[in-house]
């Protein structure tokens, strides 16, 4: 027992070290501060109604009316039942955010390297190299928490898979099942999908090797075990996965029924997202070098170039000094091809050098896999700049057309390069290769990597134009300003190229000194570690630092009610607000206080997005009225924010006299152009049966009103002397909302493209809409069964193995 504890002691110390490093890097968390993340700010706004409902009622609503006039919360802020995986994740992420994600980066990559039998010192070095990769730090700065979460578990998943493929079946099964459960639970399908590509490449490499070595039975045994592990991982996440699967068909990621664009022209027929949307964020081919040289294409959209910059020196005599200083702090240095870039996805000049060195030292399956992953991910990250491959994947690879921002597939390279680099160092420090082989590999790596750095340092400023896609506006703003901007772009290009060159040469020199036995192993690893951390952290700090942290109260409550908000909040009735002082479809602030017609979400209801594009964006008041828009917030000509009450809003529900039946979605959406929504409704013919009534006698005494409101339960009273047809200002979502009249389940229809409508019989009645999604119950049953198998299989396996050993 003492011997086992002694062996485990270094690992306990390493975990504690990772905790300290994570907290030290994000040291403001020790003062109780929290990092400001713009995406999370809007997420808090979007989720406030759900969180308030949960606190008040002790249950999940699974629906919010605070955003986009109503939508499911499956991908917003939902706590699914019996989510034990989430409980495990909470244990692992015990540190304050974002230190928790950095800790996960370090721990997960360390586990992967340990599984690959890398000595702990190198494994720690690799974990640090992976964890401080600039892209991984940057996404924490902007609030892509789910993405960071999913990336953090990727190495752990690969560790389980490799353990299994290397015939450690029991622990490989356990680690794969747990890690994959955590990966899926992180809730970023795009990152998990990209991980699948890395796994497929790994499988191809291993099956080829198994065929050559005549070990196909062992390979397929491993695959069978892994399939069971992944199935169980999917099973324990069934509630969220099934809910997401259901919702995605109705979201902007699903297939649209429209064949026309808002301008009336024919729409491109696509199964998922449009190619333009998918490839909007495509990495430039030249831009790929910023994986090696941080500000190769200028860095981020806005860089602080200081008071010694060409920009400041140019502006200080031509503009207000404060404006000149502010422009220099947010200088538009990025000259790549993407619309917005917060920072370069810098992997590290030293790590690129070590990666190339490893190519000459590492042999076998792992090398083939990792080099393949790097090439694959970089080629696909080019998107529209490499259309032959990109279009092939969009058109033929399942689900590839469901995700945008193809540049983010580089996360695979950002994982594979440090992994390969550490495996290269493992070979460098081993006795397998002769000194001559190592020296030859070092020379080749230095010539290749150092050569590129030298060329860019000496000639780079004359090789490129340094012109960006938005430069015309700066040229028009002030003559000579663009020249100053380009001069600063060249300056940072030269500085960072020289920086990379020095780091590569120094790193090569450290390895050469070790080879010549001038310095010892531990010293070499320590020096390399210091160099790598210096390389990465100094770049990371340019973009995420203590300035990004604020008092916790400001982060937890990011929005303060304005006088306008306070005035609107005096109205306690149920209505919606249209805030045109902001971009309504990219705004979570309004949802923090009101039921908004807008919101902030990557996958809103597809039909609602189309309604906005075709009607709301064109200020169709009839459509805004049918959404029960009672207040408008707008900016006047003097840049002041004002509010105006809309006396013409249709209210929560109303009766119409006639219903227009149309042939398809095109006619339905365009029919709203002239629809009188207070007296007319429009419906797709698919909802119309033989006995469907389209004309109703006007009843001047008829009333219908909302008497009770909850997120997931709306109650109305109606009084009519004849049968009437009611339209409700609520989003139609058939897989969850049920309608009841006097407690009896009744059918309802989709009308006016997005709303609910139903026939109301004569007399006094109580009408209820209840959100009762069956997908949650079904998913919960699957999850509980999967948890049982996930627990019982390893226990049974362990005892069977133990019994076999005893028999022997």
172-186, 257-271, 324-338 — most confident range: 172-186
Return all residues near 125 (Cβ < 8 A) that are at least 6 apart.
Answer: 422, 425, 525, 528, 529, 532
d(Cα 657, Cα 723) in Å, to the nearest integer?
11
d(Cα 699, Cα 706) in Å, to the nearest integer?
19
3 state SS of 152:
helix
**Is residue 737 within 8 Å of 783, Cβ to Cβ?**
no
Which of 347, 365, 369 has the alpha carbon at shortest distance from 197?
Answer: 369
d(Cα 535, Cα 72) in Å, to the nearest integer?
44
**Rounded mean pLDDT, 759-780:** 95
- Checking if the pLDDT of 802 tops 80, the result is no
C-alpha triplet 140, 146, 148: angle, nearest 5°: 45
Backbone CA torsion sign across 381, 386, 391, 392: negative
Please give the residue that has the higher pLDDT: either 699 or 201: 201
**Is residue 767 within 8 Å of 713, Cβ to Cβ?**
no
**Rounded mean pLDDT, 384-405:** 91
d(Cα 18, Cα 745) in Å, to the nearest integer?
56
d(Cα 132, Cα 539) in Å, to the nearest integer?
10
**Is residue 71 within 8 Å of 174, Cβ to Cβ?**
no
Q: What is the DSSP letter of 74?
A: T
Mean pLDDT of the chain: 92
pLDDT digits (tens, 9 = 90+) for 434-463: 999 999 999 999 999 999 999 999 999 999
3 state SS of 150:
helix
Backbone CA torsion sign across 643, 644, 645, 648: negative
Q: Which H/E stretch holds residue 668?
A: helix 665-671
**Rounded mean pLDDT, 755-766:** 96
- Per-residue confidence at 597, pLDDT binned at 50, 70, 90? very high
Q: What pLDDT sits at residue 270?
A: 62
Residue 642 tokens read as 């004002």
**Rounded mean pLDDT, 401-410:** 90
**Is residue 605 within 8 Å of 71, Cβ to Cβ?**
yes
Q: Which H/E stretch holds residue 310?
A: helix 310-315
Q: What pLDDT sits at residue 808?
A: 57
Residues of the chain above pLDDT 70, percent: 98
**CB neighbour burial string for 123-132, b if at least 16 within 10 angstroms, e if fewer:** bbbbbbbbbb
d(Cα 806, Cα 802) in Å, to the nearest integer?
6
369-378, 389-398, 556-565 — most confident range: 369-378
- Per-residue confidence at 231, pLDDT binned at 50, 70, 90? very high
Give the residues across from 709 on adjacent strands. Answer: 714
Q: What pLDDT sits at residue 417?
A: 97
Residue 215 tokens read as 């070990």
d(Cα 66, Cα 598) in Å, to the nearest integer?
9
pLDDT digits (tens, 9 = 90+) for 510-542: 999 999 999 999 999 999 999 999 999 999 999
3 state SS of 702:
coil
**Is residue 609 within 8 Å of 252, Cβ to Cβ?**
yes
Which of 96, 93, 108, 120 has the alpha carbon at shortest distance from 25?
Answer: 96
pLDDT digits (tens, 9 = 90+) for 610-619: 999 999 999 9
Pairing relation of β-strands 641-645 and 629-635?
antiparallel
d(Cα 310, Cα 433) in Å, to the nearest integer?
51
**Rounded mean pLDDT, 303-313:** 89
d(Cα 418, Cα 413) in Å, to the nearest integer?
9
Q: What pLDDT sits at residue 807?
A: 63
Helices 169-185 and 216-236 meet at what angle, rounded to 10? Answer: 40
Residue 420 tokens read as 């390969």
- Checking if the pLDDT of 433 tops 70, the result is yes
d(Cα 535, Cα 128) in Å, to the nearest integer?
12
**Is residue 127 within 8 Å of 171, Cβ to Cβ?**
no
pLDDT digits (tens, 9 = 90+) for 346-389: 999 999 999 999 999 999 999 999 999 999 999 999 999 999 99
3 state SS of 546:
helix
d(Cα 615, Cα 505) in Å, to the nearest integer?
60
- Checking if the pLDDT of 264 tops 90, the result is no
- Checking if the pLDDT of 145 tops 80, the result is yes
Neighbours of 668 (CB within 10 A): 25
CA distances (Å), origin 93, targets 78, 274, 411:
18, 37, 21
Q: Mark out the alpha helices in 546-650 (DSSP H runs).
A: 552-556, 563-569, 589-593, 606-614, 621-626
Residues of the chain above pLDDT 90, percent: 76
Q: Which H/E stretch holds residue 406?
A: none
Residue 516 tokens read as 């010549």
Q: What pLDDT sits at residue 418?
A: 97
Residue 516 buriedness (CB in 10 A; 0-12 / 13-18 / 19+)? exposed
What is the residue whose two structure tokens read 């339209």?
Answer: 727
Q: Which H/E stretch holds residue 684?
A: strand 680-684
pLDDT digits (tens, 9 = 90+) for 45-77: 999 999 999 999 999 999 999 999 999 999 888
Return all residues near 739 (Cβ < 8 A) that are at least 6 apart.
Answer: 745, 746, 747, 748, 756, 758, 767, 768, 769
Q: How distant is the alpha carbon of residue 564 from its chain centre?
A: 33
**Rounded mean pLDDT, 723-738:** 95
Please give the residue that has the higher pLDDT: either 447 or 265: 447
Pairing relation of β-strands 724-731 and 629-635?
unpaired
**CB neighbour burial string for 452-473, b if at least 16 within 10 angstroms, e if fewer:** bbbebbeebbeeeebebeebee
d(Cα 353, Cα 450) in Å, to the nearest integer?
8
d(Cα 300, Cα 342) in Å, to the nearest integer?
5
Pairing relation of β-strands 576-579 and 629-635?
parallel
- Checking if the pLDDT of 85 tops 70, the result is yes
Neighbours of 218 (CB within 10 A): 15
């Amino acid at each position: 027992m003492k011997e086992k504890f002694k062996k485990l002691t270094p690992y306990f110390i390493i975990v504690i070290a990772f905790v300290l490093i994570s907290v030290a890097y994000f040291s403001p968390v020790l003062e109780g501060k929290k990092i400001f993340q713009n995406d999370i700010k809007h997420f808090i706004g979007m989720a406030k109604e759900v969180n308030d409902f949960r606190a008040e009622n002790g249950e999940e609503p699974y629906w919010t009316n605070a955003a986009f006039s109503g939508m499911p919360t499956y991908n917003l802020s939902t706590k699914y039942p019996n989510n034990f995986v989430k409980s495990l994740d909470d244990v692992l992420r015990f540190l304050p955010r974002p230190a928790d994600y950095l800790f996960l980066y370090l721990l997960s990559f360390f586990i992967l390297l340990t599984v690959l039998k890398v000595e702990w010192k190198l494994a720690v070095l690799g974990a640090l190299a992976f964890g401080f990769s600039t892209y991984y730090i940057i996404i924490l700065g902007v609030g892509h928490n789910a993405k960071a979460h999913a990336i953090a578990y990727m190495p752990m998943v690969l560790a389980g898979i490799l353990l299994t493929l290397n015939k450690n079946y029991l622990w490989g099964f356990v680690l794969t099942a747990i890690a994959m459960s955590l990966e899926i639970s992180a809730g970023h399908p795009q990152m998990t999908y990209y991980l699948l590509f890395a796994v497929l490449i790994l499988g191809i490499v291993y099956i080829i090797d198994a065929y050559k070595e005549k070990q196909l039975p062992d390979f397929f045994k491993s695959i069978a075990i892994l399939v069971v592990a992944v199935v169980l991982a999917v099973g324990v996440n069934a509630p969220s996965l099934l809910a997401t699967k259901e919702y995605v068909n109705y979201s902007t990621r699903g297939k649209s029924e429209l064949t026309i664009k808002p301008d009336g022209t024919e729409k491109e027929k696509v199964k998922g997202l449009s190619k333009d949307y998918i490839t909007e964020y495509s990495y430039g081919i030249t831009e790929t070098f910023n994986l090696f040289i941080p500000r190769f294409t200028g860095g981020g959209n806005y860089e602080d170039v200081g008071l010694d910059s060409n920009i400041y020196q140019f502006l200080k005599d031509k503009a207000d000094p404060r404006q000149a200083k502010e422009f220099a702090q947010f200088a538009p240095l990025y000259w790549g091809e993407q619309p917005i870039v917060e920072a370069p996805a810098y992997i590290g000049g030293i790590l690129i050098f070590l990666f190339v060195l490893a190519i000459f030292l590492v042999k076998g399956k792992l090398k083939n896999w990792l080099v393949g992953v790097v090439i694959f991910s970089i080629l696909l990250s080019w998107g529209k700049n490499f259309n032959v491959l990109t279009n092939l994947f969009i058109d033929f690879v399942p689900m590839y057309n469901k995700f945008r921002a193809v540049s983010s597939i580089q996360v695979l390279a950002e994982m594979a390069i440090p992994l390969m680099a550490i495996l290269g160092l493992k070979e460098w420090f081993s006795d397998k290769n002769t000194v001559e082989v190592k020296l030859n590999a070092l020379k080749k790596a230095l010539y290749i990597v150092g050569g590129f750095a030298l060329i860019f340092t000496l000639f780079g400023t004359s090789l490129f134009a340094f012109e960006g896609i938005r430069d015309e506006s700066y040229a028009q703003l002030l003559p000579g300003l663009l020249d100053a901007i380009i001069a600063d772009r060249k300056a940072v290009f030269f500085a960072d190229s020289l920086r990379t060159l020095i780091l590569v040469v120094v790193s090569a020199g450290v390895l050469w000194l070790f080879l010549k036995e001038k310095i010892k192993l531990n010293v070499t690893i320590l020096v390399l570690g210091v160099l790598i951390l210096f390389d990465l952290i100094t770049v990371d700090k340019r973009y995420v630092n203590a300035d990004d942290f604020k008092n916790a109260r400001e982060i937890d409550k990011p929005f303060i009610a304005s006088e306008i908000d306070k005035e609107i909040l005096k109205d306690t009735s149920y209505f919606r607000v249209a805030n045109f002082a902001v971009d309504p479809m990219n705004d979570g602030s309004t949802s923090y206080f009101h039921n908004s017609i807008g919101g902030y979400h990557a996958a809103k209801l597809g039909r609602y997005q189309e309604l906005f594009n075709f009607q709301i964006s064109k200020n169709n008041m009839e459509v805004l009225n049918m959404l029960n828009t009672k207040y408008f917030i707008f900016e006047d000509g003097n840049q002041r924010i004002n509010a105006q009450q809309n006396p013409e809003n249709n209210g929560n529900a109303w009766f119409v006299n006639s219903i227009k039946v149309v042939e398809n979605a095109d006619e339905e959406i365009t029919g709203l152009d002239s629809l009188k929504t207070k007296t007319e409704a429009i419906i797709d013919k698919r909802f119309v049966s033989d006995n469907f009534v389209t004309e109703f006698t006007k009843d001047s005494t008829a009333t219908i009103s909302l008497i009770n409101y909850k997120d997931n339960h709306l109650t109305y009273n109606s009084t009519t002397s004849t049968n009437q047809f009611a339209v409700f200002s609520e989003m139609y979502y058939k897989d969850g909302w049920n309608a009841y009249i006097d407690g009896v389940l009744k059918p309802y229809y989709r009308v006016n493209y997005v709303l609910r409508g139903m026939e109301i019989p004569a007399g006094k009645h109580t009408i209820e809409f209840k959100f009762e999604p069956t997908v949650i119950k079904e998913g919960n049953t699957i999850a509980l069964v999967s948890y049982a198998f996930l627990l019982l299989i390893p226990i049974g396996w362990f005892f069977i193995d133990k019994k076999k050993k005893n028999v022997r």
